[in-house]
Amino acid sequence: MRGKRGVWATRRPGVVSKYGTLLGLCITTASSFFLAAAKRLEPWEFVGAYLVLAAVLVCFALMLHSDAWPQRLAVLLGLILLAELLGSEQRDEFNPVFLPYALVLSASSVLVLSMRKTWRSILFTFMAFLLVLGYTVISASAVGVRPASAFILTATWIITLAMRLGGPRALALYWGDFAVRQESVAAHIVAQSRRSSVAWNTRHLHDTALRTLTVIGRQGAGLSSKELGEMLDAGTSSATTARPGPPLPGWTGVDFGASTSPGTPERGGLADRLRRIAEKRARDGFSVEIHGMTGPLTEPVQAALLAAVDECILNVDRHAGAGHVDVLLSGTSDHVSVVVSDSGCGFDPSKLPADRLGVKESVLARMRDAGGHAQVFSAPGRGTTILLEAVAA
């Protein structure tokens, strides 16, 4: 229900105005303690002071709902009256009640925070300032002391004016920047989620369908009919799948037979499980030896290492022309490293075709996604060494 500006009960206070009102409430409430400490008050002054205080607090409370000018004027007059009721000696800065006196008057500065960007509102606020300043200066002059409280009053009004002028813009900028950061969080989550799905599917397709297609493309060279049949049935060992990433919406329904995620993880440490892979990959003229041991590893890290090493072994078998591959395991308290080394034909890692996903996705990206790291050291005619590193459990 919005009406004409400046009309009673139609001015909805903004955030800055509400902050100001709460601040005024806080200062004025605190001043009640100092009132109690003012020893020289007459009983009627004491009662009157507390009645005025109650009225000011009610006006402040009303200002939380509407900061129309009558409330603000009532607050202003109430604060001046309250200051006056503290006594006449308080204007002297050598008097112990000087600070509560200055504080009560300074509480009027929060009215600036209710100022609107209209001439009427600006004029009203300026007149309010002149009123309270005039009272402070005249009352100090009447007693014959320097108006130190007027300086304090002016300073607090300037500070609240700066808050009024800069506060809304600062808040808008703050929330604007926060919104951008919020958007970045959402964009990162969505992009990351998509890439995780794509990565998982790419590796999976590479390790299953593409491997099988490659073998068929070579007319099944190097495999017996039985092995080829097994490959077509099972695709590849599902135990070496790094992680059953969330399927990308666009990839749902695409199933190459072996795309199901592994059920219960195989028992044993990394070395044991690698030995089982080595036995599986070994054949006449090609052997795999596993050396060393590692400490305990988390399941995702172990699965990533298994899948990456398996891919390395397959690459040696298919592309390196080497009859033997060594896998060296070592670990410290916080890291584990696996070195896969062969003395085959080697290759230039910088000239690896972009469409060769084996090393890029099934080894390097897989290790990165598991929080680890992989490096390829190779040169034509000088064999290949792949270093896989990850954080130990």
Structure tokens belonging to residue 222? 């190097």
Q: How many CA atoms lie within 13 A of 74 on its CB side?
A: 17
CB of 90 to other proteins, least distance (A): 11
Nearer to other proteins, 97 or 278 (CB): 97
- Applying CB under 8 A, the span of 49-57, 72-80, 194-202, 292-300 interacting with other proteins comes to 194-202
Contact code string over 91-130 relative to other proteins, x by CB under 8 A: -xxxxxxxxx-xx---------------------------
Q: Which of the 8 DSSP states describes residue 351? A: G
Is residue 184 near other proteins by the rule CB under 8 A?
yes
Nearer to other proteins, 23 or 328 (CB): 23
- Contact predicate 328/339, CB 8 Å: yes
- Report d(CA 347, CA 62) in Å as an integer: 80
Nearer to other proteins, 19 or 286 (CB): 19
- Applying CB under 8 A, the span of 77-85, 203-211, 283-291, 318-326 interacting with other proteins comes to 203-211
Q: Which of the 8 DSSP states describes residue 381? A: T
Binding residues among 268-287 for other proteins as defined by CB under 8 A: none
- Residue from 61, 127, 130, 172 in contact with other proteins (CB under 8 A): 172
Binding residues among 325-354 for other proteins as defined by CB under 8 A: 335, 354
Binding residues among 17-46 for other proteins as defined by CB under 8 A: 19, 22-23, 26-27, 30, 33-34, 37-38
Q: Phi and psi at residue 341, in whole multiples of 5°?
A: -130, 135
Return the H-helix or E-strand segment holding 160.
helix 148-205
- Contact predicate 313/281, CB 8 Å: yes
Q: Residue 331, Cβ neighbours under 10 Å: how many?
A: 18
Q: Tell me how many residues contact other proteins (CB under 8 A).
A: 104
SS3 content of the chain, % helix, strand, coil (to 5): 60, 10, 30
- Residue from 213, 293, 379, 393 in contact with other proteins (CB under 8 A): 213
